[in-house]
Each structure stands twice: as structure tokens, then as C-alpha cells.
Structure 1
Amino acid sequence: MNNQSQKISVIEKVGYSLGDLAANLVFQTLVTYLAYFYTDIYGLKAEDASVITLIVGLIAGFGFNPVIGAIADRTKTKWGKFRPWILFTAVPLGVCALLAFSTPDFDYKGKVMYAAITYSLLLLLYAGNNLPYSALSGVITGDMGERNSISSYRFVAVMFAQFFVQVFMLPIILSAGEGDKAAGIEIVMTWLAIIGTIMLLMTFFTTKERVVPTAEQQSNLKDDLKDLFQNKPWIIMLSVTTLIFITLAMKGGSFVYYFNNYVDEHSLKSFILPITAFFDSIGMNFFGADPKSAGFGLFNAGGIIMMIIGITFSKRFADKFGKRDTFMTSLFISTLFIAMFIFFPPESVLLMFGAQILHGFFYGISTPLLWAMIADVADYSEWKNNRRATAIIFSAMMVGLKVGLSIGSSLVAWIISTYGYISAEGGASVIQPETVAAGAKMLVSIFPAVPFFAACGLLFLYKIDKKMEVQIENDLKERRKK
């Protein structure tokens, strides 16, 4: 392994983080709006939307990611293993993101086929871009302290993408389309595609791969897979990743239904009026005139701002207590605030916002640690087996991400349909049955809390604690010097 200086400049950390900012303009849009886009803008039946997101997502998770991971680990170019993937997928990813959220005028069968095809292409290109991008964090540096720092930069960028998508995107869609959500989302996605492509190119040009396998390292796919399935920390982190993204997809995709169908509009309007009035007075009306879309944006804003604050504490706690203990504790506390939503009546807007803010802070502490822990799992594999296979380990985690996202998104569409939800087309207004409010409430409370609590339980079995982190890092440094 190459053992040159492992310290990373601020410019490189920022450049690397721009890649996640770009990817999350796509990913956060999928998490927050995919089910809503299919049912309320494109006009698919909720059960059809559920089937598409589940089947395509599972194919992407179990098909695309392992293949790309195996190929990426064996990529050899003058730019390294992983950076070329970021370069060559930047433009196609932006194009497919636009196509997936476009609304061509087909008959219903054509719409279903178009949604399935464009979603498949989007997930294929997302895997081809984001999997090597994630694996890049494991080879930029072998210094675990620097990895914690990189992860913090990276997830501040993630929070900015999430902030834009969850806070401003719905009002901007309404404004850009002058009330036509289909036209508005195409305009917004066009600009996001252009901006995201530029940021991915900046990631390519500002980063460098430093942890490089020696020429003597020999391995094949069979060896890599054998190492993988004998790696208990990897199995645990795969399961944890899947459970976390089930919750994120379920919770993220449900709040738009929650605000539209459960939260009392009069109470919400009274609560947000001082805030929107302030922005109006300074000529910065970001949230639009609709109280529900404004409330939805402000609600997400409060949580994301506190997540960003929580991220700033992450490295400090991880350096002191270790990644595992910090991750497990902060995730557990954050889950308690999700579960609390089951107790809030429609008029308790203050309690809703308060729980969201506290959830955001504690979940923010855990956010950078997931991918830093996966990089540690790659080190653990090298430490145990004397072979490094970074991308296939990250690809397996991307399987967890895709499977979790697919299950969570499909559950949103399926569960809301079981409560009698009526789909619309082009954003048309539909009077929903009273049962939909109860379904929306369950979708933001009990249902998403269960996978998070299960993930906390699994982390008790994860053995790479603070002491082992230090041992692995020191042993690998000595090997690389030799």
C-alpha cells in the first residue's frame, strides 16, 4: 500500500464533499418526492408506484451495485480506480434525473413503462457514480481521524442538499410552473442536473487517491466475496444500512402526506405566520402563499438546521468515544423523537416542530459516522486478510442503501393506499377519505421508528470499538511502511 502523507487539505475536503452535494440533489428528491411525484403529479395509482419502486430498487440493489463494485475495484487508470467513474457518469446522471421526473403524455400503460425504464436508468447511473464516490473516501486517506473530518465535510454538504430539496423545492416547483407541478418539477430538475454535473466534475479535479494496493496484491472476485461473507462487521453494517434507509425513505416520503392530510391547516397557519411575515417584510418570501407547503418547508428547515449543528459535534464525540458508541447512542435518542409523533393531535404544531428539531440534532451526530464506519470495515478486511477490496465493500453497503430506499419508498405508497388514498394527476385537488390522516400519522411515527430501533440493537454486536479502531489503524500503518 502507498504510504505517502495522509493529511488532506481543506480544498480537497470541500471538493470531495461537492460530489455528495450533487448526488443528494438526486437522492433527496427520490426520498422526499418520488412517491408523491408518481401519485400526485404523474398520476400513477399508488399500488403501481409501490411495485415500480420496490422491484426496480431491488434489481438495482442486488444487480447493479455488486457488478459495479467488482469492476471498480479492478479499474486501473492514470486517475486511479474510482475517480474516473465520477468523471464519466456526471453528465448521464444529470440527464437521467431530468427524464425520471418528466411527465410525457402517454396512455396509462405507457406511463407505467416510462416510469419503470427511467427509474431503472437513474438507479444504474446513480450506482455507477455514487458507489465509486463512496469508495473514494476509503482511499483518499488511511488516517481515521482525517476520515472522520472528511465525513463531517461530506455530510454538511448532504445537509445543504437536503435543506434545499425538503425546504425550498416544493414552493419553487409551484412558482416555476405557475401552479402546474408537472411543468415546475421539470424546470427545477433541469437546473439541478446542470448544477450537479458541474459539482461532480469539481470533485474529480480536486481529489486524489492515496491508499493504493501494491502491485503484489493478487485477488479475484471469489476471494473478495469470501472475505466479505466472513466479515461479521460488514454483515452488521449491511443490515444497519438497510434498516436506516428504510426509515429515511419512509419518513422522508411521508411528511408531504402528513402535512396535506393530517396537520390542522388553521393551527399551522397561525404558527408559521410570524415567520413568513418576517421574510415577507424583508422581501424574501421563500415559502410561497400556500400554508401547507410553507409549513412543510419550515418544518424540514428546522430539522435540517439542527442536523447540521449535530454534525459539527460528530467528530468530537467519535474521536473521544469511538464511532460505534457515538452512532448507537445518538441514533437511539433520535428515534425516540420519531416515535413521539404518534401522540400529537393535528393541532399540536409546536410539539411537532419541537420533536423534529430534537430528532434532527441527535440524528445529525450519527449521520457522518455511517460511511466512516464502512471505510473502517474495509480496513478491518485488509487487516484480517491482507487484501484490500474497498469498492466491493462499499457496493455491498450500496445494496443496503438501495434495498432500504426501495422498501421504504414502496411502503409509503403501499401503506397510504391501504388507508384509502386516492391518486391525482398533475397536482389536481382530491378530497381524501378520513382514514388517510391516520395512515399519514402512522407513517411518520411508529412505522419508521421500528427499523431505527432494530439498527440500534444490531450495533451492540458490532465489535470495531474505539480500542480496535486504533489497533487497526496502527497495524496497517506499519504494514504499509514495509
Structure 2
Amino acid sequence: MSKKNNDFWTGPLTGTRIKSNDVKMPEMLIGYFIGPFGALLASGIFTSILQNYFTDVLKLNLAFLTTLQLVSTILIVAANLIVGQLIERTRTMAGKARPWILLSAFTLSVASVLMFIVPFEGTAKMVWIAIAYNLFYAVAYPIYNTANSTLIPVSTRNSQQRGALASFTNVAGLGVMGAGSMVFPILVSFALKEDQHLWFVAMLAVAVFSALTIFLQFQFTRERVTEEQMEGADAKEEKVKAASLREQLAAVAGEKMWWIVMLFYLGFQWSGAMKNGSMTYFCKWVLDNTFFGNADAWGASQSLLSIMGAVPMAVAAVFIVPLCNKFGKRIVCMIGMIVGAAGGVIAILGNGQIIPVAIGVALKCLGSAPACYMILAMLADVIDHIEFKKNIRTDGLTMSIYSSIMVAGTPVCNSIFSAILNASGYDQAANIALGTAAQTVGVQTAISAGYIWVETIAYILCAILVFFFTIEKKLPEEQAAIAARKK
């Protein structure tokens, strides 16, 4: 690579502001909290309320939504796998992930607002929404999310500093989910309502904020490991050959523990996506919102349930790692799933009364905390276990599939939920002022199943699955054997 080509990445706008060889607070705060928070804010809002925008503001056909979200899932999964390979093959002085972060300042911010312009009616409207939806979920979001996930392992070789960066990123992720499920529903219920122009103005503000914070993330991050590899590349005569895709597939397909942790994550993530996508409907048409004075105060109810879920998860973050170190990830995650299932049962028995439902939701979220915080550690254990048995690393394939499960959960579960609403006779023109009386008992039952029952059943199944996740017992011996083999 010539120096002329490198100059682009060393200029005042494109050069990194991080000069220290150690990770310090400005990098952690701006690069791994503020940047991801702004970038993922639109996604957090979409997870909570995009489905409601489609059905109750744009009045889109439910069968169309089901088809759109199912077909888009194929594109989303393919995009995650392709972007991962593109990033792996990128070599610049800025690194391999940071150039894609910079590109995301444009692609993610533009794509996040297109669904709220909608200049057409009829069939043209559906075509516009289909294109805009896929530009966000199958193009812009995979570019950012994959690049952002790659930043942590290439930021430094110091494992403690990597842990701190991962913690800041996780907190940012929880923050955007809180903003999407607590703050934005209040804005919708009291201000935006069904005014499409106001929705556009609100999301335009989010898009501008995202572009600025992503650019800050680009400037306040640094790929020290990539720089190290590039500096030594010219002097290196041999390169370690990575395992082929076929070799990785054969290694993971034959490993029972890999299947256990992936099925565990699939059940956990997709049941959570179903809950998030149906939450607004549950608060609008099932909960008794007269607790807040009138039947259409659903935004306040949704914020209360979100707070009741977020607080236990935030508190649990302090205790999860010490508990897992003492008792093991398997036991702590299994007990967490059982506690979460018990919370789901309490919420079901609450029968739409906000106090018992809120208590049940709090317990359910408390139980989900170990899985939320430990899933990446469990995957890392499996990768080491496969390396011990097969003598190859499967990071690329495993993390691509993990990312695909995470991103595809929302469209798949929203499409299923759209089909459920359509089959149950959901009234898109119902008067919110009538509260629970505006929808039939069958519709309310279908919505309750999406918000509470599916996740409760999934937690029971996940508790059973994780019981058989026995890697931890022999992992220290296996890691020692791997180290000895390399020497």
C-alpha cells in the first residue's frame, strides 16, 4: 500500500484521535458508549414500536408485513455473512473495521429515516416500505453492527481493557433498548400519535444524532492489533492459514456443545424479540391503563413495564460475573431461566392488571440477566473446546451465525406476530380511547401469547438445554493443552 493511499486515513477528519497504546477513558466513553448508543438508537426504537407504526400509522396490510419480514430475513442473514467477509479482507491504515464504521455514519443515518418519508400510496407505498426496510436491516445495520462487534477484539490485546470496552458497549445496548421502550412510547402516545409528519421529524432528529455519534466513534477508536499486524506484514514471509469455511462447518456441526449453546441462544433471543415486538400492542389493548387515569395512557404503562424490566437487569450486572466465577455459568444461567419462567407465570396470572404484570416482568427480566451477559462467554468456551478437539478456530463462522440469529430475530418474530394478528382478527382502526374493549378476546389472547407466553415457555426449554452444557468442567485442562500444543 502506497503512502499516497494511506494519507486519506491520517488526515484531520479521518485520522484517529486516540494516540495512547493503552485504552483510556475518552476512548471508552466516546468510542464504546456514546458512539454505539447513537448508532443503535434507531434500532432500539424500531424493536419496540416499528411494528405498531406499520399497522396503526401507515395501516399496512398484515399479510404484506408477514411476507416482507420473512423474505427480508434471508437477505439479512446473507448480508451479515457477506459483511463479515468484507471486513476480514479490508486492510487500511485506519484498520479493517473502522472504515466501515465511517461508512455507517452515512448509510445507517439515511436508512433509518427512509421508512418515515413514504411519498406514495397503494402498491407504491408497499414497494417503498419494502425497499426502505431492507436498506436498513439488510444493508446499513449489518455494516455497522458487524464492524462495531469486530472493534473490541482488534482494539487491544489487553484482555482486561477488552472487558471494559465490552462492558461499555453492552451498557450502550441496554440504554438504546431503554430509550426505545421507555421514552419513545410516551412521545408516541402523547405527541406523535398517528401523525406521519411528526414521526418523520422525530426520526430525522434521531438520524442526525446517529450520524454525529458514529463519526465520533470513528475518531475515538483505534485498532491496535490491526496496526501491529500491518507493521509486521512486510517482514513476515509466512502467514498462518485460517481454517476454510468447509473445515469450520464440519467442526461445529459435529460438536454437541455448539448446538446446545446455539439453540439456547436462538430460543432466548427470538422469544425476546417476540416479546419486544408485541409489547406496544399488549400495553394498548390488554393492560388496564386506567391505573394512570384513562384508557389511552398506554405509553405510560409501557414505560413502567420497561423500567420494571431494566432495573433488575442493571442491578444484576454487578453480581452475575462473581456468581458465575463461583458456581459456573451453566448453573447461574439455568437458575436464571427458571426464575424468568416463574416471573412469566406471575405475569400471565395478572390477567392484564398492571401491578402483578409488572412484578412478573421484573422477575422475568432478572432471570434473563445471566444469559444476556454470559452468552458471548459461553460461545468463547465452545470455540476453545472445538479448538482443543479439532485444532482449528471457528470464531468467524460461529460469530457470523450468532450475529445472524440476533439481527434476524426481530423481522422473523414480527412477521410471525403479524400473521397471528391477522388470523385473530386484529382491528387496525380500533379506537384507543375504548381501551381493552376495542379488541376482541381472541385478539387480546393472541397479543398476550406474543408478549408473555412464548418467552415463558422458551425459558423453560432453555433451562433444560443449558443443564446439558457441561464444557466448564474440563475447559481449564483443555485450554492448558492448547497452550502446550502451541509451544
Over 3 Å counting, the alpha-carbon distance change for 1:121 and 1:7 in structure 2 is same
Can you give the 5+ residue segments of structure 2 that lack an aligned partner in the other structure?
1-19, 230-235
User: Aligned match of 2:337 in 318, 331, 340?
Assistant: 331
Matches within 5 A, 1:422-433: 422-424=427-429, 431-433=438-440
Give 2:102's match in structure 1, choosing from 74, 87, 91: 87
Q: Which structure 2 residues correspond to residues 28-427 of structure 1 after superposition, within 5 A?
A: 28-61=44-77, 63-100=78-115, 102-123=116-137, 124-140=139-155, 148-174=163-189, 177=192, 179-204=193-218, 205-210=220-225, 216-219=239-242, 220-266=244-290, 268-269=291-292, 291-346=297-352, 348-382=353-387, 384-385=389-390, 387-388=392-393, 390-424=395-429
Structure 1 segments unaligned to the other structure (5+ residues)? 274-288
CA distance in 2, matches of 1:143, 1:333: 35
Contact 1:156 1:311 in 2 (8 A): no
- 1:67 is displaced (CA, Å) by 1.9
Partners of 1:350 and 1:58 lie apart in 2 by 40
Q: Distance in 1 between matches of 2:162 and 2:286?
A: 42
CA displacement 1:95-128 (0-9 Å, x = unmatched): 101113x141422212221222111111122112
Change (3 A) 1:327 1:86: farther
Q: Deviations over 1:284-336 (max 9, x none)?
A: xxxxx952211211221221122212222222223333434333332332232
Q: Which residue number corresponds to residue 463 of structure 2? A: 456
8 Å Cα contact 1:173-1:188 kept in structure 2: no
- Contact kept, 8 Å, 2:94 with 2:222, in 1: the verdict is no
Cα gap change, 1:249 to 1:80, in 2 (>3 Å): same
Structure 1 residue 377: deviation in Å?
4.1
Q: 1:382 to 1:132 in 2, by over 3 A?
A: farther
- Give me the CA root mean square deviation: 3.3
Q: Distance in 2 between matches of 1:75 and 1:322?
A: 38
- Between the aligned partners of 1:407 and 1:120, the Cα distance in structure 2 is 13
Give, in whole Å, the separation in 2 of the partners of 1:464 and 1:121: 40
For 2:33 and 2:484, how far apart are their aligned partners in 1? Answer: 29
Give the structure, 1 or 2, with the largest relative contact order (CA under 8 Å, sep 6 or more).
1
| Distance 1:318-1:194 versus aligned 2 partners, 3 A rule | farther
Amino acid at match of 2:240: Q
1:276 is matched with which residue? none
Work out whether residues 118 and 129 of structure 2, in 8 Å CA contact, stay in contact via their aligned partners in 1: no
**Which residue type is aligned with residue 59 of structure 1?**
L
Q: Residues of 1 paired with 2:153 and 2:480: CA distance?
A: 16
Aligned to 1:278: none
Whether the 8 Å CA contact 1:245–1:404 is kept in 2: the answer is yes
CA change 1:442–1:47 in 2 (3 A) is same
| Aligned match of 2:5 | none
- 2:446: which partner in 1? 439
Structure 2 CA distance for aligned equivalents of residues 397 and 167 of structure 1 = 27
Q: 1:474 Cα deviation (Å)?
A: 5.5
Pair 1:387–1:11, CA change in 2 (3 A): farther
Amino acid corresponding to residue 317 of structure 1 in structure 2 = L
- Superposed CA deviations along residues 339-394 of structure 1, whole A, max 9, x for unmatched, are 33221123x32111112222223323432222343344445555555554544321
Structure 1 position 44, deviation (Å): 0.7
Task: Assess, with a 3 A threshold, how the Cα gap between structure 1 residues 202 and 390 changes in structure 2: closer, same or farther.
Answer: farther
Native 8 Å contact 1:419 1:435 kept in 2: yes
- In the superposition, the TM-score normalised over structure 2's length comes to 0.82
| Residue-pair matches, total | 454
Tell me, in whole angstroms, the C-alpha distance in 2 between the residues paired with 1:352 and 1:68: 41
Q: TM-score, normalized by length of structure 1?
A: 0.83
- The more displaced of 145-154 and 156-165 is 145-154
- Quick one: distance in 1 between partners of 2:330 and 2:39? 26
Aligned-partner residue type, residue 336 of structure 2 = S
One-letter code of the match for 2:322?
Answer: R
CA contact (8 A) 1:306 1:357 kept: yes
> Bigger CA drift: 134-143 or 249-258?
134-143
